[in-house]
Structure 1
């Protein structure tokens, strides 16, 4: 497989950072303003705070279940690789709930629900596999 030139890889990373730090917050602000015009600013703030608490609670519950399943698998001699990926995704969803906004909350819920987390996990594993096959992973030894 042919590797992308360095300057194209740099633009891809730059675009992803631009999307994460500029486009997503602008979309969140737009949605917050739109919802605020319908239900009012106070109710919008209450809803944002409520979804943050609900998301944190769901992440805590899912994380605890995953840790118990991981512990049981380790005791039975089953490698916890699948559970580690679940734990990472649940942690990421919990972080997403800390950002105020409805779009990121929807993303967080999609990651927390096991039925929708499975395709996300499958996609992530494919990306990791592709990344490793392309030789983009460098192991540094001490």
Structure 2
């Protein structure tokens, strides 16, 4: 709920700044700014979504988790959406999202960065540090630890 209120207040402030600066700059300059930033936002979303998909597919093919690519792509798509929205404040925030390293801030704000354990010291599912540790254990001999039991089952070939 507080996020919804924050978004509504941002939209109101964005339109207030748009009308205030539009009255000072003129209608033609304001419309030109809105059109150019919208075109840039659409171009950015189209280009970055395709590039992000290609980079993520390459990481998956290499056997890695493409979380960095997805977060960077999300930052660019978020910037594109803000550039499409009419208003000067949203354009400024969208341009800030295009600064290199802004994806790191987005990851930190989303809660995906730096987590390794829950409140009782338990592991968080999907945590990158746990995935890396399990990969290193598998590479060092196939044993995840002393307390791990082997997985039993039957193997059926394609012919059967």
TM-score relative to the length of structure 1: 0.67
- The verdict on how the C-alpha distance between 1:98 and 1:55 changes in structure 2, with shifts beyond 3 A counting, is closer
Query: How far did residue 79 of structure 1 move?
Result: 1.4
Q: 1:4-39, CA deviations, whole angstroms, 9 ceiling, x for partnerless residues?
A: xxxxxxxxx2x3322212x21221122112221332
SS in 1 for 2:111: helix
Structure 2 gap segments, 5+ residues each: 120-160
* Residue 8 (structure 2) pairs with residue 26 (structure 1): no
Residue 88 (structure 2) aligns with: 102
Residue 4 (structure 2) aligns with: 17
Residue 40 (structure 1) aligns with: 26
* Residue 54 (structure 2) pairs with residue 68 (structure 1): yes
For the 8 Å contact 2:83–2:90, the answer to whether it is kept is: yes
Q: Distance in 2 between matches of 1:98 and 1:82?
A: 24
**Structure of greater Rg:** 2
Q: Distance in 1 between matches of 2:110 and 2:95?
A: 17
- The verdict on how the C-alpha distance between 1:25 and 1:38 changes in structure 2, with shifts beyond 3 A counting, is same
TM-score relative to the length of structure 2: 0.61
- The verdict on how the C-alpha distance between 1:128 and 1:25 changes in structure 2, with shifts beyond 3 A counting, is farther
Q: Distance in 2 between matches of 1:88 and 1:116?
A: 11
Provide the alpha-carbon RMSD of the alignment. Answer: 2.9
- Greater RCO, CA 8 A, separation 6+: 1
Structure 1 gap segments, 5+ residues each: 1-12, 135-142
